[in-house]
């Protein structure tokens, strides 16, 4: 799957901050941004930004479901 870049706006007590993440989908961009959030922040918006070759992400791409399940059920995720 091709990685895209997303701008995710996070809000905490009326203050917004923007983070950039790489992700295959906008839904998974929220997962990637969640690793940068504090406990009282919320995602306000997620929007794709064009990749001009200079984009940098503030967080690593989100893990796939198989990667998430591997520590719990080694090998089981790959057999589905």
Domain count, the chain: 1
Would you state the pLDDT for residue 75? Answer: 57
Dihedral sign for Cα atoms in the order 71, 74, 78, 80: negative
Which residue range(s) make up the domain with 60? 4-79
pLDDT, average across residues 19-47: 93
Would you state the pLDDT for residue 62? Answer: 79
Q: Is the pLDDT of residue 41 over 90?
A: yes
Cα separations in angstroms, 12 against 33, 40, 44, 58, 72? 14, 6, 10, 18, 33
pLDDT, average across residues 4-33: 94
């Amino acid at each position: 799957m091709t990685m895209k870049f997303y701008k995710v706006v996070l809000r905490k007590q009326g203050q917004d901050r923007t983070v950039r993440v790489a992700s295959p989908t906008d839904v998974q961009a929220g997962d990637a941004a969640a690793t940068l959030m504090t406990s009282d922040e919320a995602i306000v918006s997620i929007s794709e930004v064009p990749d001009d070759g200079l984009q940098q992400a503030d967080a690593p791409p989100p893990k796939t479901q198989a990667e998430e399940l591997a520590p719990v059920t080694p090998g089981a995720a790959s057999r589905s």
